[in-house]
């Protein structure tokens, strides 16, 4: 099966069986989505959704969070990964939003990545989910599944290379959906340590016997 045939088969399967999907993070505004996405790095969405209701009730927008101390935010996020740095980033990010953007989340990716704690992946999530732009965030799930299913070549050895390769091969109008299709497949089926191959619809052509493919 050629790589193009892989894309055609996988995308068609998701179109027919999954349909339109979006992030599993809970949020009520662009600011809250930004906070939740920042917090979700190296952490599950389930955990983030458990702690953000209380956080957003107390600090619903950039103005209220900008007025908080890092120690106060830490108490709300202490159960997530890297709570000290994330609490610091949330406060600093909120203060920059207030000082430089009137408290509003910018849509420009160059401005987004200037915010403390916001990298390309987070910026792409905000652009796709909130602003409806055709961007594709490559997290650990997308990176892993793209390699395991042979959607990208072996030399696509960093998130940006994977992103660029996927963007060239996925129809522009399906980029945002495809991001979530691949991500959710990695989260629930093609898991890191114990992939559930018996439940995978792509098992019959998965290049799992190739070097560094299935468990790489």
The tokens for 193 are: 């340590």
- Of 23, 25, 32, nearest to 105 by C-alpha is 32
Over residues 95-124, the pLDDT tens digits come to 999 999 999 999 999 999 999 999 999 999
Q: What is the pLDDT of residue 208?
A: 66
Domain annotation for the chain: domains and CATH numbers: 3-21+136-205 (1.10.1670.10), 30-130 (1.10.340.30)
Mean pLDDT on 182-186: 95
The tokens for 119 are: 């990298």
| 63, 100, 133, 139: the active-site residue | 139
Query: What is the C-alpha R_g of the chain?
Result: 18
Give, in degrees to the nearest 5, the angle at Cα 128 between 115 and 153: 95
Is 191 in the active site?
no
Q: What is the pLDDT of residue 52?
A: 97
Give yes or no for a contact between 99 and 91, defined as CB atoms under 8 angstroms apart: no
- Of 136, 145, 137, 142, nearest to 216 by C-alpha is 145
The tokens for 49 are: 């959704």
pTM (two decimals) = 0.86
Is 114 in the active site?
no
| 8, 63, 78, 121: the active-site residue | 121
Residue 100: strand, helix, or coil: helix
């Amino acid at each position: 099966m050629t790589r193009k045939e892989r894309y055609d088969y996988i995308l068609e399967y998701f179109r027919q069986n999954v349909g339109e999907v979006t992030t599993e993070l809970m949020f009520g505004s662009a600011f809250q989505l930004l906070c939740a996405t920042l917090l979700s790095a190296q952490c599950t969405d389930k955990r983030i959704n458990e702690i953000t209701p209380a956080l957003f009730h107390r600090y619903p927008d950039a103005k209220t969070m900008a007025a908080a101390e890092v120690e106060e935010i830490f108490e709300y996020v202490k159960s997530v990964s890297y709570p000290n740095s994330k609490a610091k980033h949330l406060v600093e990010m909120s203060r920059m939003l207030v000082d430089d953007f009137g408290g509003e989340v910018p849509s420009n990716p160059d401005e987004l990545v200037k915010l403390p704690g916001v990298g390309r992946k987070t910026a792409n999530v905000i652009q796709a989910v909130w602003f409806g732009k055709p961007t594709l965030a490559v997290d650990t799930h997308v990176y892993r599944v793209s390699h395991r299913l042979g959607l990208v070549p072996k030399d696509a050895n960093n998130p940006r290379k994977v992103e660029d390769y996927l963007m060239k091969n996925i129809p522009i109008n399906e980029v945002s959906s495809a991001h979530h299709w691949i991500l959710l497949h990695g989260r629930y089926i093609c898991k890191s340590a114990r992939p559930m191959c018996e439940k995978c619809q792509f098992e019959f052509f998965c290049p799992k016997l190739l070097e560094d493919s299935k468990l790489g």
